[in-house]
Amino acid sequence: MFENLFQLVKIGKELGLSKKEIRKVLLFDNTKNPTLYTTLMIIALIFSGIIVILIFLMVVSNIFPNGTYPAGAEYSTVKIQDFDRKK
């Protein structure tokens, strides 16, 4: 994917296009509704960011499933009455 992008930039430079013209071609800046396109791009970026965060949280929750206690450990059965009170 990145190879194609670099090839397009290289071809654009060989044709004598400026960086601004190359960016317009790569970012589809010549659409009929640029405001709609920009809004959709922002929504898509936010949505993809939320998906990445959710995947990260699912992976972390699978790595540390019990939170307080390590894997395979049972809950503590120690009670407050087991300790001597200081007099």
Number of domains in the chain: 2
pLDDT at 55: 93
Q: What are the backbone dihedrals phi and psi of residue 70, each rounded to the nearest 5 degrees, phi first?
A: -70, 165
Q: Do 35 and 21 fall within a single domain?
A: no
pLDDT at 69: 61
Q: What is the mean pLDDT of each run of 10 residues along the chain (87 residues)?
A: 76 83 68 78 94 90 65 69 69
Q: Do 37 and 59 fall within a single domain?
A: yes
- Residue-number span of the structural domain to which 1 is assigned: 1-30
Q: Which residues contact 60 (CB under 8 A, 6 or more apart)?
A: none
Enter the pTM of the model: 0.45
Residues 62, 68, 73, 77, Cα dihedral to 10°: -150
Is 23 inside any structural domain? yes
Is 71 inside any structural domain? no
pLDDT at 81: 75
pLDDT at 79: 74
Q: What token pair was written down for 41?
A: 């791009």
Q: Do 19 and 40 fall within a single domain?
A: no
